[in-house]
Amino acid sequence: MNSTLNNSEDIKREEGQKQLLEKSLQAHRNKKWIINFTCTISFLLAVLCFCFQVPDAIIIAIILLFICVTFQTAHKMLDRKIELRLKRIKQDHRKIIFKIK
* Per-residue model confidence as pLDDT tens digits over 37-83: 989 999 999 999 889 888 888 899 999 999 999 999 999 999 999 88
Query: Which amino acid belongs to residue 44?
Result: L
Check pLDDT > 70 for residue 24.
yes
Sign of the alpha-carbon torsion through 30, 32, 38, 39: negative
Average pLDDT over residues 23-49: 88
How far CA 19 is from CA of 3, 4, 26, 96, in Å, comes to 24, 22, 11, 17
What does the pLDDT read at residue 99?
67
User: Which pLDDT belongs to residue 100?
Assistant: 64
Integer Cα distance of 45 and 75 in angstroms? 22
Task: Please tell me the pTM assigned to this model.
Answer: 0.71
